[in-house]
A and B are shown apart, each in its own frame.
Chain A
């Protein structure tokens, strides 16, 4: 990144904390980019002459006479077709050994879409995973996170979803990715022959944590280029947003802000919303869909990070290990896609909502039967049958290794109903039962 000619060099730092440093400077703009002894930094506070910089690389070893220069502009990304197939760091600089990208320079973290210029999302995204397509259908322009404990295979599921989804571009925003996970993503994308439609912005655990703060904005600036300029359907993967939020709290604590719940900054909701609300369906075609990961600690969704996320996103996909079948499933109780109403039974077969609801209801009956069993009560015949149903339902539909189309999902549902129950017990609308109830062999 070249700097302007005649630029002034400051060498007198007045204060240094773990994530910020301050100095006296003139003519500096808010959110302007700067360099402190070669490390990139951004203006986060101006008080008269005194300017506070957030140093992305951390301040370890920064001397009080460090050289500070200002760029005269906020962080930017050069956008063009050349982005496709490339890997970048948090600053948008290539890490794949390739040349710098040529293109129009755009400020990251740009303005929001005028709500009246949005289109109501209406296109289904098929993933082959029944726990998603059948129960929690995704729609273009949606924003939805996986809620998962750190030991769940969320990155694998996400990569799978991305590769199966019909989209023009996949943009990966990796925050605090382990090097292994980074290489994993690189490999699957490569093996799938999909590299040319993938753009990655990656901050690994080896990089300073504060750098992560740039990743979502970088990824979404690239996404907006493809979705707005080229009318493409873009899928943005953000993993792990919990680590992003942790970086936010580091900076705000260094700036002596009063923390709110769980030592997160009071502005956490707005900070996360600014990112997630970039998901949009444009009227002229083109869309941005965001699939994110929010790792939980011990499944606790009342912690400030998942809690604020839940209030922002359009549902959540909850991964859980089902000990009965020894596989990870998409939990039908705690997961929700709020936009599914827009497509199920409309873009999919008419019986979709009924099959979905009935199966989940029977699965809930099974959960009650299990509680009864645990409390030492006798099971009725119906209870027994719900337990048998639940096991097969989990195996054939909820498990994340399922890969079938939506019609097969519904067929499977009907087969399970027919095998374990009578039509009266499932209580589905008459006309559907007549049409789809499995015939006796």
Chain B
């Protein structure tokens, strides 16, 4: 395969920050990777524009000290990730270099560590047999990766049909050993190992079809699951001003969601937040499997102080790793915090290339880039009848907290769930600060999902959810009236309407991400609480005057909150529930 001698070479002719101009002596292609030989290190870079003999490359490193005339070597390949067993529980940079095997405290330019351990032996079990006809993505065998059935597949790059000539017998092998030999259409033997490579900017499409998603993906966050559910293979985004709780919410989802694999892309955000994951995930248990969360998680850490170009690459790296696991028939959850930083990386580059800018100086094609990216998520049926999914949730950090800006607007067109964090809710510590009225999930309108919820949660679930939303809107209207006309300027009924919506706010919407019990609420418990809350709603109350309403409902809320803080159906839980009904009876109309 190697044709070192025919590789295109070039020489640096200009440098503006991490944009470098290179004059080349042969053919090059868009997105091709090259290496700039600066002293004794090689700096990786990617072609982002070609004009006649000149390639414009974005360097994934600092360009300090780079001079005109420096030699550049082109690789002929695009930016690729290495796919194989051992990706789980790794901490990678945006280009899939293993952060843990790098030397020293500080990152060094050109310290490109291997993504996978080539020594480690994996317990291999064959799945295909001699004579099978296979195509790209078909399963040849599997190894046990942290208790996940990690499928060894026909490499995604293989085109057309192949015949299995042989598969190695069960046993321990490392990733570079040949585990199968395939025959191509010309009967030529092609060896297959446990590793393959794939260019990150190209979606992996080795599946049969991509139907509309329909299964609820439980996140344990009440305001999401109950009010605006996301589905397996769905897309959503969380915009919000700084400090409104995007990261805390994403961390909660990454800990609790019903997923087999979680890929977290820390894209241009704080290093200390990633350190929190490094510190916590190896300790916290996944309640469903009893195994440590880290075992199902891969982290792509390209924090805000790491090179901007690899920040851009990091979301693609994370998505490609997700696609790899989806092709194994697994439920993958991918999170990116924050996609605005990725868009800003694009903006920085576009500005340096003096391209005609779009709104807010972002590149003109930003909406297309964002929607292409979101379209890589989804639920797929594989060729062998199994299914897999990638659920993708990104955060957006709108400038000045104003949602009328290009990244939010483009993302709104691409993602199906919108979880708007409100400054006002965050300020009054009503966490998670998801605005219940502005936010939406398009999935709840899907008959497929409604059917699923009826069958798996409750017959009247969808009606109840819509009812809750109406109560919240009604409560908001009542509170506006009270503010305008004064406490005693409105009928007592307005106060009751308002406080009934407050019950929903405090009991269903608000959830303490740092409380050991409240932080995660399974769907059966959500159903139980929703019914209790609706019980209160459906009860008629009688008050002498408006000033009785507030203290009374505060007591109701308090019992409900104690229930949320208690173990489900424990004695304590039941005690508060009893207390709750006692309070209800005090003021109930006959």
Contacts and interface: CB of A to CB of B under 8 A. Distances in A.
Contacts of A277: 270-271, 303-305
Contacts of B109: 111
A252 B10 CA distance: 29
Interface in A318-357: 333-334, 336, 338-339, 341, 357
Given A114-B99, A310-B242, A427-B558, A29 B399 contact: no
A120 B279 contact: yes
Of listed A30, A31, A315, residue having the most chain B CB within 10 A:
A30
B158 interface: no
A228 interface: yes
B306 A112 contact: yes
A290 B412 CA distance: 36
Contacts of B17: 267
A47 B104 contact: no
A302 B275 contact: no
Interface stretch (A95-103, A199-207, A253-261): A253-261
Contacts of A74: 64-65
Contacts of B351: 257-258, 266-267
Contacts of B274: 115
Interface string B56-74: 0000001111111100000
Contact of A111 (B91, B100, B108, B360): B108
B184 interface: no
A270 B308 contact: yes
Given A113-B271, A258-B351, A266-B344, A48 B68 contact: yes
B242 A29 contact: no
B65 A113 contact: no
A30 B63 contact: yes
Given A111-B107, A269-B344, A302-B402, A47 B21 contact: yes
B13 A48 contact: yes
B150 interface: no
Interface string A268-281: 01100110011010
A51 to B, nearest CB: 9
B21 A30 contact: no
Nearest to B485: A377
Interface in B70-97: 91
Q: How large is the interface on B (under 10, 10 to 19, 20 to 34, 35 or more residues)?
A: 35 or more
B64 A31 contact: yes
A98 B365 CA distance: 56
A118 B271 contact: yes
A243 to B, nearest CB: 21
Contact of B305 (A267, A274, A315): A274
A46 B15 contact: yes
Interface string B1-35: 00000000000011111000100000000000000
Query: Which DSSP category, helix, strand, loop or mixed, fits chain A's interface?
Result: loop
A53 B400 CA distance: 33
Interface in A117-136: 117-121
A27 interface: yes
Nearest to A43: B15
B427 interface: yes
A360 B429 CA distance: 10
Contact of A311 (B278, B397, B547): B397
Contacts of A47: 13-14, 16, 21
Contact of A29 (B66, B427, B428): B66
B442 to A, nearest CB: 28
Of listed B64, B104, B276, residue having the most chain A CB within 10 A:
B64
A260 B361 contact: yes
Contacts of B427: 333-334
Nearest to B357: A258
Interface in B122-149: none
Nearest to B348: A267
Nearest to B428: A364
Given A112-B305, A266-B347, A282-B105, A304 B15 contact: no
B558 A115 contact: no
B401 A302 contact: yes
A116 interface: yes
Interface string B399-437: 111100000000000000000000000011100000000
B369 interface: no
A360 B100 CA distance: 42
A302 B106 contact: no
B301 interface: yes
B106 A312 contact: no
B102 interface: yes
Contacts of A311: 242, 397
Of listed A45, A121, A270, A357, residue having the most chain B CB within 10 A:
A270
A382 B115 CA distance: 62
Interface string B279-301: 10000000000000000000001
B514 interface: yes
A314 B64 CA distance: 29
A26 interface: yes
Interface string A15-33: 0000000000011111110
A259 B397 CA distance: 19
B204 to A, nearest CB: 28
A46 B303 contact: no
B331 interface: no
Contacts of A118: 271-272, 275
Contacts of A116: 91, 99-100, 278, 301
Contact of A312 (B241, B270, B400): B270
A46 B344 contact: no
Contact of B361 (A29, A46, A266): A266
B105 A113 contact: yes
B486 interface: yes
Contact of A31 (B65, B107, B341, B360): B65
Contacts of B397: 311
Given A114-B107, A115-B303, A277-B305, A336 B243 contact: yes
Of listed A273, A274, A303, residue having the most chain B CB within 10 A:
A273
A58 interface: no
A115 B275 contact: yes
B579 interface: no
A26 B348 contact: no
Contacts of B344: 266-267, 269-270
A194 to B, nearest CB: 28
Contacts of B16: 44-47
B577 interface: no
A307 interface: yes
A59 to B, nearest CB: 20
Contacts of A228: 105
A308 B214 CA distance: 38
Contact of A114 (B21, B104, B272): B104
A302 B242 CA distance: 10
Contacts of B271: 112-113, 115, 118, 277, 280
Contact of A30 (B67, B303, B354, B429): B67
A110 interface: yes
Contacts of B242: 307, 310-311
Contacts of A260: 347, 360-361
Nearest 8 CB-CB pairings of A with B: A273-B304, A302-B400, A277-B305, A310-B242, A29-B65, A47-B14, A260-B361, A112-B305
24 contacts: A29-B66, A30-B66, A31-B63, A31-B65, A44-B16, A46-B15, A48-B14, A48-B68, A74-B64, A114-B107, A116-B99, A117-B104, A142-B272, A260-B347, A266-B344, A269-B304, A270-B344, A274-B305, A302-B402, A307-B242, A307-B399, A314-B270, A357-B429, A360-B429
Given A117-B104, A266-B351, A310-B243, 10 more contacts: A30-B64, A47-B16, A115-B303, A116-B100, A258-B357, A261-B400, A267-B17, A277-B270, A307-B242, A357-B429
